[in-house]
Amino acid sequence: MQRLELILWIGSMSVSNMSLPRLRDNILALSVVQAGNYLVPLLALPFLARVLGIHAYGEVVFVQTVMMFGMLLVDFGFSWSATRDISASRDDRGKVSTLFAGIWGLQWLLLAVVVLLVLLSVWWLPSLRPNASLYLTGLGIVLGQVLFPLWLFQGLEALKVAAVIQVVGKVLAIPCLLIWVDGPQDQVAAIAFFSASSVLSGLGAVWWIHRSKWVEWFWPSRADLAQAFRQGAWIFGSRVSISLYTTAIPLAVGLWAGPAQLAAFNLADKVRVLIQGFLAPVAQALFPRMSYLINRDRVAAFSLLTKSAWIVGVVSLLSGGLVWWFADEIMLILGGNDFIHTGDILRWLAFVPLMVAGSNTLGVQVMLPRGMNRAFMTILTAASIMSLVGLYPAVMNAEARGAAQLVLLVECVVTLAMALYLRREAHNWRVK
């Protein structure tokens, strides 16, 4: 389940001295970021799927899936905690510089841990050793995550700049794809495309930070690193819970059903992610505004929440219906003849964005701003456990289609659990 990867948390500002940025501008900038993250790779998929073939493409996807765990570790919850802290201190360059040094320094240490883990895994696991070059090349994806401190851009609300840098980096990497990928033997070059797009965006971000003089550059102290670790650790737990039933599912499909089934699941899931990616900016830009309004003007907060829920709900329902109806054609267009019989997988994922929109509205926009952190975490943890318990029978009995069914089921349970919890809390409040 996709949750907020880009959070702008405007926390402790007063109404009288605060000039809120236009919500429309934030949504537009975040939409461009999402387009760069999802649309460019999606446009590359038809080329990769056809040139590599379903088996080789599945192996590339498996490496990407493994690297997602590395990205999770180096992020360490900073997309939430660091954004909040930077935003609260944006007018104090010294404070921002100290935060930046500690958080970015810790991310580089975490990157070293990821590199070490990959090297040890490739060395000790015979199943990974034949594809060692793929995994080593894939480390560039994680490196790019560290090079691009998106949380700094978010905290300073420089989203338009971040959008341009990300899109340019991905576009500049396309020659790697077109020139060097010519057949199933060019899997390393295919992975290099994703790594290069990530690293180029990261280098652009570092250049812009230096050019704009947002921070003073210095080595972090141990106290700075320790503070960054404490701030990110509590959110990292929730990110791990979320990833257990997102990243673990394609990993299980690759391990238990093989590269071909993973390729089919990944292609269908990319369509689902694309839909959520274009809906997510509304939720992402809404979150800081809801965090600000819900404790100051609940009437305005409820009005804003209702309008956004209707917009996101209707759009996700209509887009899900179109994807369900044209699932076979979509898979054929994106993947070619190797994917002609995989439309059922996409049909099971078509309405997942609708469920995610519901859980985001209830959980992220209501529960988190109202301080219901424990209940939010409990629901996500229970969903993770449910996913892990059902993962083996789902994949072994129905392969990629079973995995897609499990994703939909888990998302439905999460949304229903959040709705029931908020209903109970509303009843208890009225009784008191």
pTM for this predicted structure: 0.76
Please tell me what DSSP assigns to residue 186. G
pLDDT tens-digit profile of 336-366?
A: 888 888 999 999 999 999 999 999 889 878 8
Q: Are 359 and 1 in contact (CB under 8 A)?
A: yes
Question: Within the chain, which residues score under 70 in pLDDT?
Answer: 1-42, 234-235, 237-239, 241-245, 280-281, 283-292, 295, 427-432
The tokens of 266 are what? Answer: 């990944």
CA distance 192 to 180: 9
- The region, left, alpha or beta by phi > 0 then psi within -120 to 50, assigned to residue 219 is beta
> Which helix (H) or strand (E) covers residue 410, if one does?
helix 373-431
- Please name the residues in contact with 201: beta carbons below 8 A apart, sequence gap of 6 or more: 144, 147, 148, 165, 166, 168, 169, 170
Q: Which pLDDT does position 42 carry in this prediction? A: 66
CA distance 83 to 25: 18
Q: Are 300 and 377 in contact (CB under 8 A)?
A: no
pLDDT tens-digit profile of 315-344?
A: 999 999 999 999 999 999 888 888 888 999
Q: Which pLDDT does position 431 carry in this prediction? A: 44
The ranges assigned to domains in the chain are 20-233, 245-432
